[in-house]
Amino acid sequence: MRLRWTLALAFVALAALQVAVVVPLALRNLSALLGRQQEARVDQLMVAVDAEAQRLQGDVKRAMDELAQSQALEDVARDAARIPAPAHVTTAATALMTPRGLDVLALVDDSGRTLSSGHLPARIGEPDDPLFVVTKSGARTVVATRVELSAPEGIITAPALVTARPIDYGERRVWAIGGILLSEARARDLSRLTGARVEVVSDGSVFAHAGDAAPPTLSRTLPVGEVATVRLTFSQADLVATRAEVLRAFIGFAGVGLLLSIIAGFLVSRRITRPVEALTEAAEKIAAGTPGITVDGRHASGELKALIATFNEMTGDLKDATDKLVASERVAAWQEVARRLAHEIKNPLTPIRMSLETLLAASQRGPLDERFTRLFSDSARVVLEEVDRLKRIVDEFSQFARLPRPELATHELADLVQPIMALYGPHDGITFDVQLQRGTQVKADRDQLTQVLVNLIKNAEEAMSGRSGTIHVRVKSGEAPCVEVEDEGPGIPAELKARLFEPYVTTKPQGTGLGLAIALRIVQEHGGRLEVLDGTSGGALFRVSLPTVSAR
Amino acid sequence: MTRVLLLSLCITTVALAGSRPKPGGTLQLVLVSPSTTVDPLSADAPIDAFRLSLTHQPICRLVEFSRPAPNTLRLTVPPSVDVKLVTEALTRGNGVLLTNVGAWLVNGREVDLPIKGARVDLERTLCHPLFSVPVGPFRVKGSKLEAFDEQPLSRPYLDTLALQSADARTAERLFAQRRAQLVVGAPTPSEAPQLFVTALALGPGLASVRAAIESSIDRADLARFFVPAPSAPLNGLLPTTAAPPATARPAPLTPPQELSLLFDETAEHERGIAQRLQVKLQPFGYRVALKPLPRADLKTKTLAANEFALRSFALPPSPTGALLMWLGLAGQQSRAPAVLQQLAAAPDVDARAKELAAQLGPELSVIPLVTRGVGVMASKDVQHLTRDALGLPRVDDLFLSAE
Amino acid sequence: MILALVLAATSASSLERAALEVSRCVADAGFEAPMGVFVEGNSVPVSRAVGSLVMARLAEQRQAPVPVIARDATEAEKLARAQGLGSLLRLTVSLEAPKLVVRGDALSTHVNFWSGLAPTRSGPALAVVSSVDADLEALTMAGAPVAPPTAAARPFDVLSFTLAKTAQVPSAITVADLDGDHRGELIALVGETVFTWASDGKLRNKTELSGALSTRPTRDPFGFVAVNGGRLTAWSSRRDKPESFTWLREGWRSSGAAESLLAGAVTLTPRPGYASFHSELSWAGKTVKWPDALAHISQSGTLLLGVAPNGLASIARGQAPATQVTGVGSGSALGDLDGDGSPEVVVTSARTWGDSDEVRVVSLGAFESAQARGGHVSEAPALWQRKLDGRAIVAASGDLDGDAVDEVVLGVWREDGSGELVVLRRAP
């Protein structure tokens, strides 16, 4: 895995680890905190509810005190015994009840008979014993009791807070019993005050309720005397919602952080690894033989910058050294060439000198006889042979030196190889195995490439002289297209491999030593590569790789 | 000196009209009612019937009655009234039950009704609002009611009625500010006949409730506390019946029985009575659920076994008609022939009807409760305010003194 | 006030003399100024005049008189205290022919400090009485009938009696001599029936009207009966057309529909739906436009009394009247009750409700004088008057008993819906 990805992953992993550890911890703490706050709020609200209940009781007391002092009730007390009761008596409760914010008001004579009822006008003239009991409960206290009301389903009892006040007119006494119902309206008020679902539970069933509390919930109850219980149910949905909200926000932030850390990690690692990669690439290039590579060190910093500078210095030195080496090698090579050429040229000169000295000696010894004639012809033939040989040497050398620039054209590689191979047939125990894979287009000079192949095949034939076997010629297409020529000869000694393409290096008695050099030169001119490898059957394998033309 | 001045001023004021009723003028009329129905079928409340009477008139007032044969009542329809309107009115709603006549013959402008039994009061029965035809003293024109000229009773003295509806307090205020000359439906006592009845119709099998109701309910209390004045207790099927003797209280039921009490949702007094019944029946072990219904639904409703209903309607201003009305309410129309026959044989029909009413009262599954009338406040300049057979003020008969 | 000054200037006037006597009474009693003056009396102009004159005299005596306007004497005293007046003079002026009498009291407005809630007076107080002979001026001002000094005043008295009672209200009546015995018969339309009574109250005939019904009848009973040259024209508002009858052998024989409502020289046109006739009428062949629709007419010689439904009435002589009297009921008629050759006017009140009416007999002159002023009929002094049970809505005049003096018959509407025919005749 590349360093860049390794680094980026490391960053991401670090960030993810942080999220995984921090979020649950934070959430747990937050939940606990919110829960405590909720409890505290509910406790506060219950205090408020209690205060509201006290206020209601106070209101009832005040309203009833005021009522007991009113002229209207004095009139009622005065006329209570009249038969039939005058209208101001029978309608008194209804008229007096509403303006004072009371839900319940009954005017009752001392025998318990209802003179006027505001909450159940139909009660008029009837006794209302459960309500009348309130008058016995002592002075001025607000009592929780059950009050009968008319409802669509029949007469119902409703929990109420009431208090009784006596109104005296001479001997006569009239009771005003009034108060408030624990009704929907009260529940609604409480619900508005607390935001909770409020239920008035009386006799085990819900008498009135208001508000709503989404689960999960928290309940508190408040007893109202012995007749009812007020149950407040607080919703904790907002707590859950807050938690979910925070969780979502956390996850969101974590996701964004993670993404950012990936991007940052990638960017940072790229920043760090780019010079390293450039160094790697440059090193690879240098290893492949491209000298003088420098790395752009502008984006690097610190140690890497120093490293790049050092590397650049090193490659510069290396190039200089290589250049110097190449120059000296070239001088040495040319010295060798000159030496070899001199040697080659000197070799024929000896027979020529000897022939000519023989002839000269023979001519000085006597007349030109028969023997001389034979000797002359022999000598002349030797001289001619040697001159031819000289000429050949000079021709080849001049060819090597004057190799023209290739005229490149696009060819199918197989099409280049096939006509050449048509010229070769089995001979002297040598057979040819030609495998042509089509599909590789190359830019090449046909004549020069032909020269390369001929040289390689000739080299192979020469390597197999005196043996029988097969020469394999393969054109390979695909990822690495090439032409391979493999013989089944003795192979090339390792020490020779390095110098094989140098001019005048040959293993063969008849070779000039320029064939492979010329082939290499041509291939290089084409921008290709000529390699020598060990063949599968112990012989040599020459591979020609040429730059391909893209399919387009 | 000043007294003399005032006296002569008084004389001048009242003397500005001839001895005859003075025609013309606009009456500022206020109805104390949210309802402005003009449907003869639903004129069950006095105020509704009064509103109807402004633009409609019952047959009894429009046609000339004669009896060419003992068992035939001839209605001579005046030329300005379509005979078809009269025959339509005769068949409206349960009108056939009230008249209980055979198939009539129409001969030109005469309609002959074959009477069953000796219906000496059939003419009066036809004064029931149910038999109203749209030939009234007034006709709606824009926002006002204008005198209708072309009618047999002649145009009313007034030219125009400026009619508006208001609640009782607003009406009283308008009257005090002299912006209303006549307030109809005001809660003022009245001596006029009260024929608008509220009764309890019992569903099948509720006979046991009857004893509980009869022993506990005080009709005078009902009228006094729960029905706006003018109102009176209705002790029997006919308005003049004396209070019945107290009956023994039945023992409370165990377990309690669930009952449904149906009433007209638009009738406030029915709600009051219904609640009173709730209270009164509770000690007997009846749990009474209240079911307010639209008036039209209530009329067509057939009572189930555990249901009873408050029904308000106008009694015909004749004893026979009233008895037939009660039979219809109790769903016992089949007894009508027998009742008519008994009446036919009696020398004094009204007296016999009273006896029959007393006899039928406990047999029918209805309990009469209260009657209502219509209270009126009239300013001084409103003259000759009369009432019709149902106790409704007759605006067509009144006129304004000039000022 | 101008009148008062004028009167004060003529010291001979009875009013002035009375005022002088009153002012002398209070002059030396020591009343504190300013003095309030409150005057009441049965004749407003006389009371006012006396009050002004008394105040003029009090002003001369430096009493600083202030008029006190109050409903009655008790209120005047309260008011005087409230206004801070020092004393109060309270007078009642009455014309008790032939005397003009001023009675009253003068009192200090000071209140007994210890009197408590109901104040008791303190300070001077005295009674005031003054009686002087009423002169012509005072009598004229009071509107009292001035007896001609020469005429040996024969008292004008009228008897009234009920001739007949009817089940319904009579809608039209007339008096005509049908049989030539110089005694008129009374013909009345009651409902749809024409009743004919002899002068002794005996019913002579009942005849039903026939003919098509009207599509626009009137609500209250209304109709027309008149006898012209022995032919009766009768019309009820419930009928479309008038019907003509002739008197033949104790009965009316219908001779079919009549064209018009002709009564003497006057032809009337009914208004459908209304209990009145059109204001345009034909009078001796001439079209006359009366100021109002007519509920009732009555003729005497060339005079025509027309009464409108709103209580306006006029007596006209051959042409439409320009002015009218107010407060006249439709049961009014012209008739020479005293046989002096000039008709009197029998006037009923214009009351439209109740079961009582007031019949007054006024002289033609007094009526026409009130008419000329456009005043109320009560301004014309009554020669005779009495209360009537029921309201007269129609009236007719004629000689019922053959004494060459007219009787007036009133058609009365009783509250119970029945009718009565009341005859007024001069007491012998």
Please report the DSSP string for B216-247 in residue order.
H--HHHIIIIISPSSEEE--SSSTTPPPPPP-
Is chain C adjacent to chain B, meaning 3+ CB pairs within 8 angstroms? yes
Place of tokens 């000022």: B403
Q: Tell me whether residue C307 is exposed, middle or buried, using C-beta atoms within 10 angstroms of its C-beta: 0 to 12, 13 to 18, 19 or more.
A: buried
In the three-class reduction of DSSP (H, G, I as helix; E, B as strand; rest coil), residue C101 is classed as strand
Report the candidate in B309, B103, B84 with the shortest Cα–Cα distance to residue B209: B309
The whole-angstrom distance between residue C274's C-alpha and the CA centroid of its chain comes to 25
Q: How far is A154 from chain B (nearest CA, A)?
A: 4
At residue C128, the 3 state secondary structure works out as strand
Share of chain B above pLDDT 90, in %: 19
Give C309's contacts in chain B (Cβ within 8 Å). 17-18, 20, 22-23
The predicted model gives B57-73 an average pLDDT of 88
Q: Which residue has the higher pLDDT, B39 or C137?
A: B39
Q: Do B278 and A122 touch (CB under 8 A)?
A: yes
Beta strands in C97-240 (DSSP E): 99-108, 125-133, 158-166, 170-176, 185-190, 193-197, 203-208, 223-228, 231-236
Tokens of A416: 């280049």
Top mean-pLDDT range of A26-30, A193-197, A330-334, C280-284: C280-284
Q: Is residue C5 scored above 70 in pLDDT? A: no
User: Confidence band (pLDDT; 50, 70, 90) for B402?
Assistant: low
Minimal CA separation from B119 to chain C, in Å:
26
C195 and B CB contact within 8 Å = no
Q: What is the ipTM metric for this complex?
A: 0.75
> By mean pLDDT, which of A193-197, A402-406, A508-512, C58-62 is the weakest?
A508-512
Burial (0-12, 13-18, 19+ Cβ within 10 Å), A303: exposed
What is the DSSP secondary structure assignment for residue A113, as one 8-state letter? Answer: B
Q: 3-class SS at A449?
A: helix
Residue B19 sits at the chain C interface (C-beta within 8 Å): yes
DSSP-based three-state secondary structure for C19: helix
Q: Kindly list the residues of chain A whose beta carbon comes within 8 Å of any beta carbon in chain B.
A: 84, 90, 120-126, 150-155
Coil, helix or strand at residue B320: helix
Residue A219 has pLDDT above 70, yes or no: yes
Q: Tokens 């089509």 — which residue?
A: A438
Chain B contact for C52 (CB, 8 A cutoff): no
Higher pLDDT, C26 or A508: C26
Which of B2, B3, B19 would best serve as a mutation to test chain C binding (most C beta carbons within 10 A)? B19
Higher pLDDT, B297 or A399: B297
Find which of A87-91, A273-277, A286-290, B200-204 is predicted with most confidence, using mean pLDDT: B200-204
Is residue B386 predicted with pLDDT exceeding 50?
yes
How many CB atoms neighbour CB C324 within 10 A? 22
pLDDT at position A521, please?
Answer: 80
Is the separation of the CB atoms in B350 and B319 below 8 Å? yes
**Coil, helix or strand at residue A11:** helix
Calculate what percentage of chain A has a pLDDT beyond 70.
Answer: 94
* Pairwise CB contact (< 8 Å): A150 & B226: no
A524, two tokens: 């290089």
pLDDT at B5 over 60: no
Tell whether C218 is within 8 A of chain B (Cβ): yes
* Segment (H or E) for A525: helix A515-525
- Asked if residue C320 lies in contact with residue C288, where contact means CB atoms within 8 angstroms, the answer is yes
Whether B286 and chain C come into contact, CB under 8 Å, resolves to no
Using a CB-CB cut-off of 8 Å, the residues of chain A touching B278 are: 122, 150, 154-155
Q: What is the pLDDT of residue B9?
A: 34
State whether B278 and A126 contact (CB < 8 Å): no
- pLDDT of the residue at A323: 78
pTM: 0.62
Contacts of A90 in chain B (CB under 8 A): 224-225
For position B36, what pLDDT does the model report?
65
Q: What confidence category does residue A289 fall into, taking pLDDT thresholds of 50, 70 and 90?
A: low
Check if B108 contacts C (Cβ < 8 Å): no
| Comparison of pLDDT for A246 and B66, the residue scoring more | B66
Q: Give the confidence band of C409 by pLDDT, cuts at 50, 70, 90.
A: very high
* Termini Cα distance of chain C: 47
pLDDT category of residue C154 using cuts at 50, 70 and 90: low
Contact present, C358 and C424 (Cβ < 8 Å):
no
- Nearest by CB to residue C350, choosing from B16, B23, B152, is B16
Specify whether the CB–CB gap between C294 and C281 falls below 8 A.
Answer: yes
- B347-383 pLDDT, tens digit per residue, is 887 888 888 888 888 888 899 999 999 999 999 888 8
Closest-CA residue of chain B to A128: B279
Are residues C226 and C233 in contact, defined by beta-carbon separation less than 8 angstroms?
yes
From B289's Cα to the closest Cα of chain A, the distance in A is: 4
Is the Cβ–Cβ distance between A448 and A519 less than 8 Å? Answer: no
**Partner B contacted by C43 (CB < 8 A):** yes
Band of the pLDDT at C2, cuts 50, 70, 90?
A: very low
The band of C145, judged by pLDDT with boundaries at 50, 70 and 90, is low
Q: Is C79:C88 a contact under the CB 8 Å cutoff?
A: no
Q: Say if the Cβ atoms of C70 and B150 lie within 8 Å.
A: no
Distance from the Cα of C222 to chain B's closest Cα (Å) equals 10
For residue C20, what is the enclosing H or E element?
helix C14-27
Judged by a CB distance cut-off of 8 A, whether residue C375 touches chain B is no
Q: E strand or H helix at A266, and its extent? A: helix A237-288
Reported residue count of chain C is 428
B316 interfacial to chain C (CB closer than 8 Å)? no
Q: Is B158 on the interface with C (CB under 8 A)?
A: no
Q: What is the pLDDT of residue C170?
A: 93
Of the candidates C41, C216, C378, the beta carbon closest to that of B11 is on C378
Residue type, A68: A
Residues of A in contact with B224 (CB under 8 A): 84, 90
Q: How far apart are CA C47 and CA C199, in angstroms?
A: 48
Question: Is the pLDDT score of C149 beyond 70?
Answer: no
**Chains A and C, touching by 3 or more CB pairs within 8 angstroms:** no
pLDDT, position A330: 66
Q: DSSP string of B20-75?
A: SPPP--EEEEEEE-S-----GGG--SHHHHHHHHHH-EEHHHHSEEEEEETTEEEE
User: For residues A473 and C18, what is the distance between their CA atoms, to the nearest angstrom?
Assistant: 178
Q: Is B155 on the interface with C (CB under 8 A)?
A: yes
Measured CA to CA, the distance from residue C202 to residue B272 in angstroms comes to 63
Tokens of A207: 């008498």
Q: Test A122 with B258 for CB contact under 8 angstroms.
A: no
pLDDT at C314: 92
Q: Distance between the two ends of chain A, CA-based, in angstroms?
A: 33
- Calpha distance B119→B337 (Å, rounded): 12
Which residues of chain B neighbour A121 with C-beta distances below 8 Å? 225-226, 272, 275
**Which pLDDT belongs to residue B15?**
35
Q: What ranges in B45-167 are assigned the alpha helix state H?
A: 46-55, 59-62, 83-90, 95-99, 122-125
* Mean pLDDT over the full length of chain B: 84
Compare A329 and C301 and report the one with higher pLDDT: C301
Contacts C42 to B, Cβ<8 Å: 4
Tell me the range of A299-308, C137-146, C236-245 where mean pLDDT is highest.
Answer: C236-245
Nearest residue on chain C to B149, alpha-carbon basis: C216
> Is residue C346 very low, low, confident or very high in pLDDT (cuts 50, 70, 90)?
very high
Q: Which of B16, B157, B402 sits opposite C219 (nearest CB)?
A: B157
A140 band by pLDDT with thresholds 50, 70 and 90? confident
Strands B231-233 and C125-133: unpaired
pLDDT tens-digit series, residues B153-184? 788 888 999 988 898 889 999 999 999 999 99
Tokens of A493: 């000694």
Buried b / exposed e along C163-185 (16+ C-beta atoms within 10 A): bbebeebbbbbbbbbbeeeebbb
Inter-chain touch B289–A153, beta carbons under 8 Å: yes
Tens-digit pLDDT profile for residues C210-254: 888 888 888 888 999 999 888 899 999 888 899 999 988 888 999
Cβ–Cβ pairs < 8 A, chains A and B: 49
In this prediction, residue C10 carries a pLDDT of 44
What average pLDDT does the segment A107-133 reach? 85
Alpha-carbon gap, residue C24 to C9, rounded angstroms: 18
pLDDT of the residue at C351 = 80
> Is the minimum CB–CB distance between C154 and chain B shorter than 8 Å?
no
- What are the C-alpha distances in Å from B198 to residues B195, B270, B370, C93? 10, 8, 5, 64
**CA C278 to CA C258: how far, in whole Å?**
18
Which structure tokens are listed for A486?
Answer: 């493999």
Residues in a beta bridge with C261:
C268
pLDDT band at C119 (very low <50, low <70, confident <90, very high): low
Name chain B contacts of C275, Cβ cutoff 8 Å: 20-21, 23
What per-residue confidence (pLDDT) applies to C152?
44
Question: What is the rounded average pLDDT for all residues in chain C?
Answer: 85
Please state, as a whole number, how many other Cβ atoms lie within 10 Å of the Cβ of residue B85: 16
Q: How confident is the model at residue A507 (pLDDT cuts 50, 70, 90)?
A: low
Looking at the complex, report in whole angstroms how far the Cα of residue B50 sits from the nearest Cα belonging to chain C.
20
Query: What per-residue confidence (pLDDT) applies to B18?
Result: 61
pLDDT for residue C317: 86
Is it the case that residue C258 has pLDDT exceeding 60? yes
